[in-house]
A and B are shown apart, each in its own frame.
Chain A
Amino acid sequence: MASNIGPVLEFEKPVVDLERQIEELKEFSKQKGIDMAEQIAALESKAESLRLEIYKNLTTWQRIQIVRHPKRPTCLDYIAMIFDNFIELHGDRCYRDDPAMVGGIAYLDKIPVTVIGQQKGRDTKENIYRNFGLPHPEGYRKALRLMKQANKFNRPVICIVDVVGAYPGIEAEERGQGEAIARNIMEMANLTVPVLVVITGEGGSGGALAVGVGNKIMILENAYYSVISPEGCASILWKDATKAPEAAETLKISSSHLLSMGIVDEIIPEPLGGAHKNPSETANNIKNALINNLNSLLEYSPSELLEMRYKRFRDYGKFIE
């Protein structure tokens, strides 16, 4: 089941080893013509319970390993599986087209929508081209251009979020990524169409929030959303980036924490072991969640959508008065 899909994560090794043993045993029994059905069945049921034991009790850090898996579906993979007739639109009209942020128009269940998201590469070559899915300011500005275009034509906006964080690079600072992120946040709050956000992988701080000001915010089961990367937090807190697993727990960034804190509205289930184990099943789950949420938002007037979104973000924060 798992063994043919990219690299094996450390915590999955017991399952993968067992699966390999089962394969070998099957091969052996076939070659030698010995009936080993009983032994194989026993091992398979053992593997099944081991899978459940491992994947049903994932730590936050293990989930982060899953969302960083090189075979995890990317934004364009999901767009191809969820939407129809996607036409990609390029460029920020100021500087260049940023391949780390993609967007365009498509149908979601026959409704025209604008879909936008960060795009990680699917191999080393594409990762270099896409800057590992880390947008430059022009990426955020392209996203904003497409959102405003959607608003003009009364088209819902769907953002697919998967980004480690903002890009620590000279050019990104020269071209003002701080300003670009700030402006996106402010302008997104002004959209009068439904805005749906799905965090499919990494919801990394400002880079995620720049396309994250939605009426409804959904998150895949293993995805996370955080103010700082666990590694960054660990190196500040304990001067030791290898303590990222502890930091991930401390920051409460898993989907279930985010749901209980009211940061997200819905957790979209992933197949056992993560989205990459069955991309089409994952895409289907996302599609259903999007359609349901979009249908409920279509009931609201533009001013109600605006007010609803404003109130959502106005209310965040805990303090004593």
Chain B
Amino acid sequence: MLKDLFKTKPKYITVKTEREVVNRDEPVEKKEIPDGLWIKCGRCPQITYIKDLEKNLKVCPKCGFHFRISAKERLKLLIDKDSFKEINANLKTVNILNFPDYESKIKKSQKATELTEGIITGEATIDGIPVVLAIIDFAFIGGSMGSVVGEKLTRAIEYSIEKKLAFVSVSAGGGGARMHEGIFSLMQMAKTSQALNRLAEAGCLYISVLTDPTMGGVFASFASLGDIMIAEPDALIGFAGPRVIQQTIKQTLPEGFQTSQFLLEHGFLDLIVNRKDLKQTISQLVKFHLNGGGMNGQ
């Protein structure tokens, strides 16, 4: 086109000389978005007007850094408008061990997230195709998995089996298995993982999306077991926390350790997908598997 000739700024491909990786020493505090009008990027010096950042799906317009988003925001981003039907919304936490301050922690998280527990589950459509979704909210005790999160995940998997629908989980479970429910949290790892055997037997697709951060018992159970493993860029993903590793081995960790890119290189991810492309990618993948997939899918 003629007007292309008048472009003032030619586009260049940016070549990174060094791998730009965020220092994740303080994974919890860094990227919370405080109240205010402007927000500093978690990686580059860019300061962005919050409304602009939100318009850009909370991805830094300068460097593409993905800020953490809530489960509700994530839901909106992934599904067709108003298509969500929540299931098992009223499951409530019990302080089984009488763990100190657990109730107040729950209350604080409920206030911060406007959720009853750390996960939203339900059915929705993506580009018109029905799927079952389970989305963890990091702001709810670090996205950790206790009895309620484990039960809602398991029920969502069972719902997928019953309805013969693809199951999509989005993990932001930095807290891993929730300490406050002790051994019962560890058992949720077994409960959710074994349910996936039945999902596989039923021939249902499972897409696991890992977002920043996914660690410990969440990573070492259902979240690692997707037929297709996707992560957002720059997410911290691993089993043992970087600080614990550093304290144990007393060495500096390699650059980019436990990031999405690191996991992809080591063979534990199928693909890294930018937030803006996530819905489209999931939709495409689910379409491949419609009607049992393969030769049945014609």
Q: Please give the residue numbers on chain A whose beta carbons come within 8 Å of chain B beta carbons, in ascending order.
A: 166-170, 172-179, 181-183, 185-186, 189-190, 205-206, 209, 212-213, 225-228, 232-233, 236-237, 250-253, 258, 261, 263, 310, 313-314, 316-321
Contact = CB atoms under 8 A, between A and B. Distances in A.
A251 B183 CA distance: 8
A320 B94 contact: yes
Contacts of A318: 94, 96, 147, 181, 184
Interface stretch (B4-12, B63-71, B242-250): B242-250
26 contacts: A168-B245, A168-B248, A169-B245, A170-B251, A176-B266, A177-B220, A178-B220, A185-B220, A186-B225, A189-B193, A205-B217, A206-B189, A206-B216, A206-B220, A228-B179, A236-B179, A251-B182, A261-B96, A261-B183, A263-B187, A316-B190, A318-B94, A318-B147, A318-B181, A318-B184, A321-B90
B198 to A, nearest CB: 8
Nearest to B251: A170
A317 B239 contact: no
Given A170-B253, A176-B267, A186-B197, A317 B187 contact: yes
A168 B189 contact: no
Given A170-B245, A182-B221, A186-B194, A317 B151 contact: yes
Interface of B: 90-94, 96-97, 99-100, 146-148, 150-151, 154, 177-179, 181-191, 193-197, 216-217, 219-225, 238-241, 244-245, 247-249, 251, 253-254, 257-258, 262, 266-268
Best-buried of A181, A185, A252 by chain B (most CB within 10 Å) = A185
B260 to A, nearest CB: 13
A252 B190 contact: no
A318 B189 CA distance: 14
Nearest to A208: B186
Nearest to A246: B100
Interface-central residue, A182, A313, A314, A321, by most chain B CB under 10 Å: A182
B149 to A, nearest CB: 9
A243 to B, nearest CB: 12
Given A189-B190, A252-B182, A170 B91 contact: no
A127 to B, nearest CB: 15
A189 B194 contact: yes
A176 B268 contact: yes
Contact of B238 (A167, A173, A212, A253): A173
B220 A227 contact: no
B249 A213 contact: no
Contacts of B183: 225-227, 251-253, 258, 261, 263
Contact of B220 (A182, A190, A213): A182
Interface of B is mostly: helix
Leading 4 A-B pairs by shortest Cβ distance: A317-B147, A189-B194, A316-B187, A178-B239
A179 B268 contact: yes
Contacts of A190: 194, 197
Nearest to B182: A251
B143 to A, nearest CB: 15
Given A178-B238, A206-B220, A206-B239, A317 B257 contact: no
Contacts of A258: 183
Contacts of A317: 146-148, 150-151, 184, 187-188, 191
B268 A250 contact: no
A189 B189 CA distance: 12
Nearest to A176: B268
B154 A237 contact: no
A189 B197 contact: yes
A153 to B, nearest CB: 21
A173 B29 CA distance: 23
B129 to A, nearest CB: 26
A320 B189 contact: no
B187 A313 contact: yes
A156 B100 CA distance: 41
B239 to A, nearest CB: 4
Given A181-B239, A189-B197, A310-B194, A205 B182 contact: no
Contacts of B191: 313-314, 316-317
A6 to B, nearest CB: 25
A317 B92 CA distance: 11
A226 B185 CA distance: 9
Contacts of A169: 240, 245, 248-249
B155 to A, nearest CB: 10
Given A205-B217, A226-B183, A233-B179, A182 B224 contact: yes
Contacts of A168: 240-241, 244-245, 247-249
Nearest to B97: A252
Contacts of B225: 182-183, 186
B37 to A, nearest CB: 34
A261 B197 CA distance: 26
